[in-house]
Protein backbone atom coordinates (compact mmCIF):
# COMPACT_ATOMS: atom_id res chain seq x y z
CA UNK A 1 0.00 0.00 0.00
CA UNK A 2 1.26 3.47 -0.87
CA UNK A 3 0.78 5.93 1.98
CA UNK A 4 -1.38 8.86 0.89
CA UNK A 5 0.85 11.24 2.89
CA UNK A 6 3.80 10.16 0.77
CA UNK A 7 1.76 10.65 -2.37
CA UNK A 8 0.61 14.13 -1.31
CA UNK A 9 4.22 15.16 -0.76
CA UNK A 10 5.23 13.62 -4.09
CA UNK A 11 2.51 15.48 -6.03
CA UNK A 12 3.45 18.75 -4.33
CA UNK A 13 7.13 18.34 -5.27
CA UNK A 14 6.22 17.26 -8.81
CA UNK A 15 4.12 20.43 -9.13
CA UNK A 16 6.67 22.88 -7.69
CA UNK A 17 9.94 21.05 -8.43
CA UNK A 18 11.06 22.48 -5.09
CA UNK A 19 11.07 20.59 -1.79
CA UNK A 20 10.88 23.73 0.36
CA UNK A 21 7.91 25.17 -1.57
CA UNK A 22 6.19 21.78 -1.55
CA UNK A 23 6.55 21.60 2.22
CA UNK A 24 5.16 25.10 2.66
CA UNK A 25 2.11 24.26 0.53
CA UNK A 26 1.42 21.24 2.76
CA UNK A 27 2.37 22.95 6.04
CA UNK A 28 5.22 20.46 6.47
CA UNK A 29 8.95 20.84 7.05
CA UNK A 30 11.23 20.31 4.07
CA UNK A 31 12.85 17.41 5.89
CA UNK A 32 9.47 15.72 6.33
CA UNK A 33 8.73 16.03 2.61
CA UNK A 34 12.16 14.56 1.79
CA UNK A 35 11.46 11.64 4.12
CA UNK A 36 8.11 10.99 2.44
CA UNK A 37 9.76 10.93 -0.99
CA UNK A 38 12.50 8.60 0.28
CA UNK A 39 9.92 6.17 1.66
CA UNK A 40 7.86 6.31 -1.54
CA UNK A 41 10.91 5.59 -3.68
CA UNK A 42 11.83 2.69 -1.42
CA UNK A 43 8.32 1.26 -1.62
CA UNK A 44 8.32 1.52 -5.41
CA UNK A 45 11.92 0.40 -5.86
CA UNK A 46 12.45 3.28 -8.28
CA UNK A 47 13.99 6.73 -8.28
CA UNK A 48 11.32 9.38 -8.84
CA UNK A 49 13.39 12.60 -8.83
CA UNK A 50 16.83 13.62 -9.96
CA UNK A 51 18.15 16.17 -7.46
CA UNK A 52 21.26 18.31 -7.35
CA UNK A 53 22.18 21.58 -5.66
CA UNK A 54 20.47 23.64 -8.37
CA UNK A 55 17.43 21.75 -9.65
CA UNK A 56 14.84 19.03 -9.15
CA UNK A 57 13.34 17.13 -12.07
CA UNK A 58 11.21 14.03 -12.55
CA UNK A 59 12.60 10.77 -13.82
CA UNK A 60 10.63 8.69 -16.30
CA UNK A 61 9.32 6.62 -13.38
CA UNK A 62 8.48 9.88 -11.61
CA UNK A 63 6.44 11.07 -14.58
CA UNK A 64 4.54 7.78 -14.52
CA UNK A 65 3.96 8.12 -10.79
CA UNK A 66 2.31 11.54 -11.22
CA UNK A 67 -0.69 9.96 -12.93
CA UNK A 68 -0.91 7.08 -10.47
CA UNK A 69 -0.60 9.37 -7.44
CA UNK A 70 -3.29 11.77 -8.61
CA UNK A 71 -5.68 8.91 -9.37
CA UNK A 72 -5.10 7.31 -5.95
CA UNK A 73 -5.53 10.63 -4.12
CA UNK A 74 -8.65 11.50 -6.09
CA UNK A 75 -10.22 8.11 -5.35
CA UNK A 76 -9.30 8.46 -1.69
CA UNK A 77 -10.88 11.93 -1.53
CA UNK A 78 -14.07 10.69 -3.22
CA UNK A 79 -14.33 7.86 -0.71
CA UNK A 80 -13.86 10.23 2.22
CA UNK A 81 -16.49 12.62 0.85
CA UNK A 82 -18.89 9.75 0.26
CA UNK A 83 -18.69 8.38 3.80
CA UNK A 84 -18.48 11.80 5.41
CA UNK A 85 -21.85 12.57 3.86
CA UNK A 86 -23.29 9.08 3.82
CA UNK A 87 -25.82 10.21 6.42
CA UNK A 88 -27.17 12.98 4.21
CA UNK A 89 -30.84 12.48 3.60
CA UNK A 90 -33.83 14.48 2.52
CA UNK A 91 -34.88 16.04 -0.78
CA UNK A 92 -33.62 18.75 -3.08
CA UNK A 93 -35.88 20.48 -5.62
CA UNK A 94 -33.60 21.65 -8.41
CA UNK A 95 -34.59 23.89 -11.31
CA UNK A 96 -32.33 24.09 -14.38
CA UNK A 97 -32.26 25.41 -17.93
CA UNK A 98 -32.83 22.99 -20.80
CA UNK A 99 -29.53 23.67 -22.57
CA UNK A 100 -27.64 22.40 -19.50
CA UNK A 101 -29.92 19.34 -19.28
CA UNK A 102 -29.11 18.55 -22.92
CA UNK A 103 -25.37 18.72 -22.15
CA UNK A 104 -23.60 17.30 -19.09
CA UNK A 105 -26.09 17.65 -16.24
CA UNK A 106 -27.40 14.05 -16.38
CA UNK A 107 -23.91 12.68 -15.72
CA UNK A 108 -23.38 15.06 -12.80
CA UNK A 109 -26.72 14.13 -11.23
CA UNK A 110 -25.98 10.43 -11.74
CA UNK A 111 -22.74 10.81 -9.80
CA UNK A 112 -24.42 12.87 -7.09
CA UNK A 113 -27.20 10.36 -6.47
CA UNK A 114 -24.65 7.51 -6.41
CA UNK A 115 -22.66 9.30 -3.69
CA UNK A 116 -25.79 10.36 -1.76
CA UNK A 117 -28.35 7.56 -2.18
CA UNK A 118 -30.53 8.89 0.66
CA UNK A 119 -31.05 12.26 -1.02
CA UNK A 120 -34.11 12.44 -3.30
CA UNK A 121 -33.86 14.81 -6.27
CA UNK A 122 -36.80 16.56 -7.92
CA UNK A 123 -35.88 18.19 -11.24
CA UNK A 124 -37.69 21.05 -12.98
CA UNK A 125 -36.58 22.23 -16.44
CA UNK A 126 -37.48 25.61 -17.89
CA UNK A 127 -36.36 29.06 -18.98
CA UNK A 128 -33.93 30.79 -16.62
CA UNK A 129 -36.37 33.55 -15.69
CA UNK A 130 -39.21 31.07 -15.07
CA UNK A 131 -37.00 28.83 -12.94
CA UNK A 132 -35.83 31.87 -11.00
CA UNK A 133 -39.45 32.89 -10.36
CA UNK A 134 -40.32 29.40 -9.12
CA UNK A 135 -37.40 29.63 -6.68
CA UNK A 136 -38.62 32.98 -5.39
CA UNK A 137 -42.11 31.50 -4.88
CA UNK A 138 -40.63 28.70 -2.76
CA UNK A 139 -41.41 25.99 -5.30
CA UNK A 140 -37.71 25.11 -5.66
CA UNK A 141 -34.74 24.82 -3.31
CA UNK A 142 -32.04 25.51 -5.90
CA UNK A 143 -31.88 27.02 -9.37
CA UNK A 144 -29.00 26.48 -11.82
CA UNK A 145 -29.64 29.15 -14.41
CA UNK A 146 -28.20 31.87 -16.61
CA UNK A 147 -27.89 35.45 -15.49
CA UNK A 148 -26.80 38.50 -17.41
CA UNK A 149 -23.17 39.49 -16.85
CA UNK A 150 -22.96 42.07 -14.10
CA UNK A 151 -25.84 40.74 -12.00
CA UNK A 152 -24.94 39.85 -8.43
CA UNK A 153 -27.36 37.18 -7.22
CA UNK A 154 -26.14 33.59 -7.12
CA UNK A 155 -22.86 31.70 -6.86
CA UNK A 156 -20.93 31.85 -10.14
CA UNK A 157 -20.11 28.51 -11.79
CA UNK A 158 -18.73 29.86 -15.07
CA UNK A 159 -18.92 32.79 -17.50
CA UNK A 160 -18.78 32.60 -21.30
CA UNK A 161 -19.83 34.48 -24.45
CA UNK A 162 -23.20 34.20 -26.10
CA UNK A 163 -22.68 33.49 -29.81
CA UNK A 164 -24.71 33.19 -33.00
CA UNK A 165 -25.17 29.65 -34.31
CA UNK A 166 -26.75 28.05 -37.37
CA UNK A 167 -26.65 24.88 -39.43
CA UNK A 168 -23.41 24.23 -41.34
CA UNK A 169 -23.61 25.87 -44.74
CA UNK A 170 -26.33 28.31 -43.71
CA UNK A 171 -26.36 31.55 -45.72
CA UNK A 172 -28.68 34.50 -45.97
CA UNK A 173 -28.81 37.71 -47.95
CA UNK A 174 -27.59 40.50 -45.65
CA UNK A 175 -29.91 42.87 -47.49
CA UNK A 176 -32.79 40.98 -45.92
CA UNK A 177 -33.83 40.95 -42.22
CA UNK A 178 -31.87 38.56 -40.00
CA UNK A 179 -33.97 35.36 -39.68
CA UNK A 180 -34.16 34.68 -35.94
CA UNK A 181 -34.96 31.46 -34.11
CA UNK A 182 -35.69 32.32 -30.49
CA UNK A 183 -37.03 30.97 -27.24
CA UNK A 184 -40.27 32.47 -25.96
CA UNK A 185 -40.10 35.48 -23.62
CA UNK A 186 -38.63 36.07 -21.08
CA UNK A 187 -35.61 34.02 -22.24
CA UNK A 188 -32.27 35.72 -21.55
CA UNK A 189 -30.87 34.69 -24.95
CA UNK A 190 -33.91 36.18 -26.72
CA UNK A 191 -33.52 39.49 -24.92
CA UNK A 192 -29.79 39.56 -25.63
CA UNK A 193 -30.30 38.94 -29.36
CA UNK A 194 -33.02 41.55 -29.85
CA UNK A 195 -31.18 44.16 -27.77
CA UNK A 196 -27.95 43.63 -29.72
CA UNK A 197 -29.65 43.86 -33.12
CA UNK A 198 -31.61 46.95 -32.16
CA UNK A 199 -28.47 48.64 -30.80
CA UNK A 200 -26.85 48.54 -34.26
CA UNK A 201 -30.03 49.26 -36.17
CA UNK A 202 -30.26 45.84 -37.83
CA UNK A 203 -33.58 44.63 -39.17
CA UNK A 204 -34.75 41.19 -38.11
CA UNK A 205 -37.63 38.76 -38.43
CA UNK A 206 -38.56 36.02 -35.98
CA UNK A 207 -39.05 32.94 -38.15
CA UNK A 208 -39.46 30.48 -35.26
CA UNK A 209 -40.38 30.79 -31.60
CA UNK A 210 -40.07 27.76 -29.34
CA UNK A 211 -40.90 27.03 -25.73
CA UNK A 212 -38.07 24.48 -25.62
CA UNK A 213 -34.39 24.56 -26.53
CA UNK A 214 -34.85 21.34 -28.48
CA UNK A 215 -37.30 23.18 -30.74
CA UNK A 216 -34.71 25.89 -31.40
CA UNK A 217 -32.13 23.24 -32.27
CA UNK A 218 -34.53 21.52 -34.67
CA UNK A 219 -35.34 24.77 -36.49
CA UNK A 220 -31.64 25.58 -36.74
CA UNK A 221 -30.86 22.13 -38.14
CA UNK A 222 -33.56 22.72 -40.77
CA UNK A 223 -31.68 25.83 -41.90
CA UNK A 224 -34.47 28.28 -41.01
CA UNK A 225 -32.24 30.91 -39.47
CA UNK A 226 -29.78 31.84 -36.73
CA UNK A 227 -30.07 31.78 -32.94
CA UNK A 228 -28.19 33.09 -29.88
CA UNK A 229 -26.60 30.36 -27.77
CA UNK A 230 -24.11 29.80 -24.98
CA UNK A 231 -20.85 28.88 -26.68
CA UNK A 232 -19.97 25.81 -24.61
CA UNK A 233 -23.44 24.25 -24.95
CA UNK A 234 -23.77 24.23 -28.75
CA UNK A 235 -25.10 20.78 -29.74
CA UNK A 236 -23.48 18.55 -32.39
CA UNK A 237 -24.53 19.38 -35.92
CA UNK A 238 -24.70 23.15 -35.36
CA UNK A 239 -21.88 25.67 -35.61
CA UNK A 240 -20.88 29.16 -34.57
CA UNK A 241 -21.11 31.75 -37.33
CA UNK A 242 -19.34 35.05 -37.66
CA UNK A 243 -20.48 38.02 -39.70
CA UNK A 244 -20.27 41.79 -39.64
CA UNK A 245 -24.05 41.74 -39.97
CA UNK A 246 -24.44 40.02 -36.57
CA UNK A 247 -23.47 42.13 -33.53
CA UNK A 248 -21.72 40.71 -30.45
CA UNK A 249 -24.10 39.38 -27.82
CA UNK A 250 -21.97 39.85 -24.73
CA UNK A 251 -21.35 37.35 -21.97
CA UNK A 252 -23.69 35.19 -19.96
CA UNK A 253 -23.04 33.67 -16.54
CA UNK A 254 -24.21 30.33 -15.18
CA UNK A 255 -24.98 30.53 -11.48
CA UNK A 256 -26.55 28.58 -8.65
CA UNK A 257 -29.25 30.35 -6.65
CA UNK A 258 -30.45 29.01 -3.30
CA UNK A 259 -33.83 29.51 -1.68
CA UNK A 260 -34.56 29.26 2.04
CA UNK A 261 -34.37 25.44 1.97
CA UNK A 262 -31.26 25.62 -0.23
CA UNK A 263 -29.13 26.18 2.88
CA UNK A 264 -29.72 22.64 4.17
CA UNK A 265 -26.92 20.08 3.93
CA UNK A 266 -28.35 18.07 0.98
CA UNK A 267 -28.80 21.21 -1.11
CA UNK A 268 -25.38 22.53 -0.09
CA UNK A 269 -23.81 19.26 -1.20
CA UNK A 270 -25.44 19.60 -4.62
CA UNK A 271 -24.26 23.21 -4.93
CA UNK A 272 -20.72 22.07 -4.20
CA UNK A 273 -21.00 19.29 -6.81
CA UNK A 274 -22.18 21.76 -9.47
CA UNK A 275 -19.45 24.30 -8.69
CA UNK A 276 -16.70 21.68 -8.62
CA UNK A 277 -17.80 20.05 -11.90
CA UNK A 278 -18.47 23.02 -14.17
CA UNK A 279 -16.37 21.50 -16.96
CA UNK A 280 -18.48 18.33 -16.88
CA UNK A 281 -21.59 20.36 -17.63
CA UNK A 282 -20.27 21.79 -20.90
CA UNK A 283 -20.22 20.10 -24.30
CA UNK A 284 -16.81 21.55 -25.24
CA UNK A 285 -14.86 19.82 -22.46
CA UNK A 286 -11.89 17.87 -23.76
CA UNK A 287 -11.82 19.47 -27.21
CA UNK A 288 -8.43 19.16 -28.84
CA UNK A 289 -6.51 22.00 -30.43
CA UNK A 290 -6.96 20.36 -33.80
CA UNK A 291 -10.72 20.29 -33.29
CA UNK A 292 -10.65 23.95 -32.35
CA UNK A 293 -8.73 24.81 -35.53
CA UNK A 294 -11.19 22.81 -37.61
CA UNK A 295 -14.10 24.64 -35.98
CA UNK A 296 -12.43 27.98 -36.62
CA UNK A 297 -12.06 27.12 -40.28
CA UNK A 298 -15.65 25.94 -40.47
CA UNK A 299 -16.86 29.18 -38.86
CA UNK A 300 -14.98 31.16 -41.48
CA UNK A 301 -16.65 29.23 -44.29
CA UNK A 302 -20.09 29.70 -42.72
CA UNK A 303 -19.95 33.48 -42.98
CA UNK A 304 -22.92 34.85 -44.94
CA UNK A 305 -21.94 35.72 -48.49
CA UNK A 306 -22.70 39.16 -49.88
CA UNK A 307 -24.17 39.23 -53.37
CA UNK A 308 -21.87 40.77 -55.93
- Closest among 166, 158, 286, 150 to 220, alpha carbons compared: 166
Angle between helices 19-26 and 4-16 (to 10 degrees): 130
Instruction: Render each residue's pLDDT in the chain as its tens digit; 308 residues.
Output: 899 999 999 999 998 899 998 888 888 999 999 999 999 999 999 999 998 878 899 999 999 999 999 999 988 887 777 666 657 888 999 999 988 888 888 989 998 988 888 899 999 999 888 999 999 999 999 999 998 767 788 888 888 999 999 999 998 888 999 999 999 998 999 999 999 999 999 999 999 999 999 999 999 999 999 999 999 999 999 999 988 889 999 999 999 999 877 667 788 889 988 888 777 788 654 333 333 333 333 333 333 333 32
Rounded to whole angstroms, the Cα distance separating 127 from 133 reads 10
Give Cα 276 distance to the centre of its chain. 9
b/e 6-43 (16+ beta carbons within 10 angstroms → b): bbbbbbbbbeeebbeebbebbebeeeebbebbeebbee
Residues 6+ apart with CB under 8 A from 109: 121, 123
User: If you ran DSSP here, which 8-state letter would residue 88 be given?
Assistant: -
Q: Angle 219-220-225 (CA atoms, 0-180°, nearest 5)?
A: 95
Domains in the chain (CATH in brackets) are 4-84 (1.10.10.10), 90-158+253-281 (3.40.190.10), 160-251+293-301 (3.40.190.10)
Amino acid sequence: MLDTLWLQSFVAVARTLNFTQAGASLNLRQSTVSEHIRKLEAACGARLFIRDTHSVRLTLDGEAMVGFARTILDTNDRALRHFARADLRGSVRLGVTEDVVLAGLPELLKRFTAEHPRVRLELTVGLSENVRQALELGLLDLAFVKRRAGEQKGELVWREPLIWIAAPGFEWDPAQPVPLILLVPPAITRTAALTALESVGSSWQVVCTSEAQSGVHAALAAGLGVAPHARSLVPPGLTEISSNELPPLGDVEFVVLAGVQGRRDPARALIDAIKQNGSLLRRTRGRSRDTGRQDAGREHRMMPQHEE
